[in-house]
C-alpha cells in the first residue's frame, strides 16, 4: 500500500524506467488515495485504480472559461466544467450524458456546482481557480463550474433576463446526473451574486429537494422586491444559507435562506476602500468579500462563527451572547460543515446571524463579551473604551452604561484567543472642554468572557475595582488560562 509521496521504479525488458507515484498532498481529503495514481515514462501515461488494474489513460483535454468581450449578453453559450483532485486546474467539458460517463465524474460522491454572477467585461472570474482548488481540498466531491460568461456580460439587466434560461439549462444538466444515480440531496450549489438567484431558481424547479444552496452576497438590484419564485429563498433546498457583505450597494439586504450571515453588519467590510476615487475596487470590494470569506472557510484556518440577533447594533451592544434562541446553542459557522453546524429540527427560516472579521485573510476573529459594572449610578450615560493588548495587536470596543444604571456591556473582536491577551486598557471617555479639564472619576469592575457565553463559569473579572479618571487610560493585567 502506498503512503506519502512515494516513488517506485519499474524496470521493463526494454530498459525503460517508469515511476509509480501517488499525489498524496497533506491537504488532500481522505478517500482520494486510490483515485490519483499515475505511471510516468517516455511517451506513456498509464493510470492505476485502487484495485490495481492498469489501463491507458490519455491526459484529458482541458477546457477553460470563455472570454466574451462583446459587451452583449444575448447568447448563453453555457459550459459545464468538471474539476477533480487529480488535476484541479484542468476543466473537463461535460455537457452530454456521454461526456459525463466518459469523464472522471464519480456518481457515488457529492456534487458541488459553482455559478458565477454578472461579468461586466466578459472575462473569466479572477477568483474561480482558487475557489475550485479550495473546494477540492476541503471536500471529496465532484466540482463543476458553470461558465455562462457570454450570457452574463455587458449590461446587468440583460444578464438578469438570462437567469431563467440559464436555470433551465442547469436543471437539464442536473437531470442527466440524476439519471446516473446521483441523489438530489447530494447536490450543493454555490451561487455568487446573480448566480445565487440562478441557484434558487434551479432549486425551485426541483421543488426544494436539492441538498444545499449557498448564496455568496446574493445580488440586490432587481431582486429585493422579487417574488420567491424569482429569487433565492429558504424553500429552494433542504438547507439554504447566504453570506451578506454589501447590502447597501450590490447585495440584497433581506434574508433569503434558513441562515443569513450579515458579516460586519452586512456592509462596509474592513480593508475595503471607502472613497469613490478607488475606482472599481470601491464598487466591488465589499461585494466580493463574501467569496473570499468562503474560500478562507474552506481552507479551514479558523472558524467563522456567527450569532443570531435582532440587529447588528444589538449584537455589538452585547444583547446576543449565545445561540440558544433559535439554534439551541448550535452556533452556525460559514463553510462546509453540515447545515452550518445547526442541529435543530425543523430548521427555522430567515434567521439573521452576525459576526465580525478582520480586513485580511483568514478574516476570522474571536468574539468576547466585555462588561463594566459601576459602583454608583450616574445621572448621564457613561462611555468606556475597552482595548485588548496582545503581541502588538490592539482591538477596541465601546461600552455604554446607560444613566441611572450600573452595568454596560459590548462585544469586542480580537484575532488572538482570549488567553493570549495580556492586558486591557480602559478609558473613561467624556467630551473635551477647551476651557476646563474634566476631573470626573468613576469606580467599577471590568469583566470579560468568550462568546458564546453559555454559562458564567468562563467569565473573568479584574480582581479589584478600577478607578477611572476622565480621558485617562488605565492598564490592567488579564490572566486567562488557555483551555
- Assign 3-class secondary structure to 324-387: HHHHCCCCCECCCCHHHHCCCCCCCCCEEEEECCCCCCCCCCEEEEEEEEECCCCCCCEEEEEE
- Please, are residues 329 and 320 in contact by the beta-carbon 8 Å criterion? no
Topology of domain 79-355 in CATH is Rossmann fold (3.40.50)
CA angle, 127 then 133 then 137, to 5°: 140
Give the mean pLDDT per block of 10 residues along the chain (483 residues). 34 37 45 46 39 47 86 77 93 92 93 96 94 96 96 92 97 96 97 98 98 98 95 98 97 98 97 76 90 95 94 97 95 96 95 97 95 95 95 91 96 92 94 75 95 85 93 92 77
The pTM score is: 0.88
Sheet of 7-11: strand order equals: 7-11, 17-22, 37-41, 44-48, 54-56
Catalytic: which of 287, 292, 366, 367? 287
Catalytic: which of 217, 233, 236, 260? 217
* Every domain of the chain and the residues it spans: 7-56, 79-355, 366-477
Phi and psi at residue 164, to the nearest 5°: -65, -45
| Whether residue 193 lies in the annotated active site | yes
| The pLDDT value given to residue 455 | 72
Catalytic: which of 152, 167, 186, 193? 193
Residue 274's Cβ-count burial label (10 Å; 0-12, 13-18, 19+) is exposed
| Whether residue 367 lies in the annotated active site | no
Burial track 400-429 (b if 16+ CB lie within 10 A, e otherwise): bbeeeeeebbbbbbbbeebebbeebebbbe
* CATH number at 366-477: 2.60.60.20
Tell me whether domains 79-355 and 366-477 share a fold: no
Burial track 95-108 (b if 16+ CB lie within 10 A, e otherwise): eeeeebeeebbebe
- CB-side neighbour CA atoms (13 Å) of 453: 20
Helix pair 280-299, 128-138: axis angle to 10 deg? 10
Amino acid at each position: 500500500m502506498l503512503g506519502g509521496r512515494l516513488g517506485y521504479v519499474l524496470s521493463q525488458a526494454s530498459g525503460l524506467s517508469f515511476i509509480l507515484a501517488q499525489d498524496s498532498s497533506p491537504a488532500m481529503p481522505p478517500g482520494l488515495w486510490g483515485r490519483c495514481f499515475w505511471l510516468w515514462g517516455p511517451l506513456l501515461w498509464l493510470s492505476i485504480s485502487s484495485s490495481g488494474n492498469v489501463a491507458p489513460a490519455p491526459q484529458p483535454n482541458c477546457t477553460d472559461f470563455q472570454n466574451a468581450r462583446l459587451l452583449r449578453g444575448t447568447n448563453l453559450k453555457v459550459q459545464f466544467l468538471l474539476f477533480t483532485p487529480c488535476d484541479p486546474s484542468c476543466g473537463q467539458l461535460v455537457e452530454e450524458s456521454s461526456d459525463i460517463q466518459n469523464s472522471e465524474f464519480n456518481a457515488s460522491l457529492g456534487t458541488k456546482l459553482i455559478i458565477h454572477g454578472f461579468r461586466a467585461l466578459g472575462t473569466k472570474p479572477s477568483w474561480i481557480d482558487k475557489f475550485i482548488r479550495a473546494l477540492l481540498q476541503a471536500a471529496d466531491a465532484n466540482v463543476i463550474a458553470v461558465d455562462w460568461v457570454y450570457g452574463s456580460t455587458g449590461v446587468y439587466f440583460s444578464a438578469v433576463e438570462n437567469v431563467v434560461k440559464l436555470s433551465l439549462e442547469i436543471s437539464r444538466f442536473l437531470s442527466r446526473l440524476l439519471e446516473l444515480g446521483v441523489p438530489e440531496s447530494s447536490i450543493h450549489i454555490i451561487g455568487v451574486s446573480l448566480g445565487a438567484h440562478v441557484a434558487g431558481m434551479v432549486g425551485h424547479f426541483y421543488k426544494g429537494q436539492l441538498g444545499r444552496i449557498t448564496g455568496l452576497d446574493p445580488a440586490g438590484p432587481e431582486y429585493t422586491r422579487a417574488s420567491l419564485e424569482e429569487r433565492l429563498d429558504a424553500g429552494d433546498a433542504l438547507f439554504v444559507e447566504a453570506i451578506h457583505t454589501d447590502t447597501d450597494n450590490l447585495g440584497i439586504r433581506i434574508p433569503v435562506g434558513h441562515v443569513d450571515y450579515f458579516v460586519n453588519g452586512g456592509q462596509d467590510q474592513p480593508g475595503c476602500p471607502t472613497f469613490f476615487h478607488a475606482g472599481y475596487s470601491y464598487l466591488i470590494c465589499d461585494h466580493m468579500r463574501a467569496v473570499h470569506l468562503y474560500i478562507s472557510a474552506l481552507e479551514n484556518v479558523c472558524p467563522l462563527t456567527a450569532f443570531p440577533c435582532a440587529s447588528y447594533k444589538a449584537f455589538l451592544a452585547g444583547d446576543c451572547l449565545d445561540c440558544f434562541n433559535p439554534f439551541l446553542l448550535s452556533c452556525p459557522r460559514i463553510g462546509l460543515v453540515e447545515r452550518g453546524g445547526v442541529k435543530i429540527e425543523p430548521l427555522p427560516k430567515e434567521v439573521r446571524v452576525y459576526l465580525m472579521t478582520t480586513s485580511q485573510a483568514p478574516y476570522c476573529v474571536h468574539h468576547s463579551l466585555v462588561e463594566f459594572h459601576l459602583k454608583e449610578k450616574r445621572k448621564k450615560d457613561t462611555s468606556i473604551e475597552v482595548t485588548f493588548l496582545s503581541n502588538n495587536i490592539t482591538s477596541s470596543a465601546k461600552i455604554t452604561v446607560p444613566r441611572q444604571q450600573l452595568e454596560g456591556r459590548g462585544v469586542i473582536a480580537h484575532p488572538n484567543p482570549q488567553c493570549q491577551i495580556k492586558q486591557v486598557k480602559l478609558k473613561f471617555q467624556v467630551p473635551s472642554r477647551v476651557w476646563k479639564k474634566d476631573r470626573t472619576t468613576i469606580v467599577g469592575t471590568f469583566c470579560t468572557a468568550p462568546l458564546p457565553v453559555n454559562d458564567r463559569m468562563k467569565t473573568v473579572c479584574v480582581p479589584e475595582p478600577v478607578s477611572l479618571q476622565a480621558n485617562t487610560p488605565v492598564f490592567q493585567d488579564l490572566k486567562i488560562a488557555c483551555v
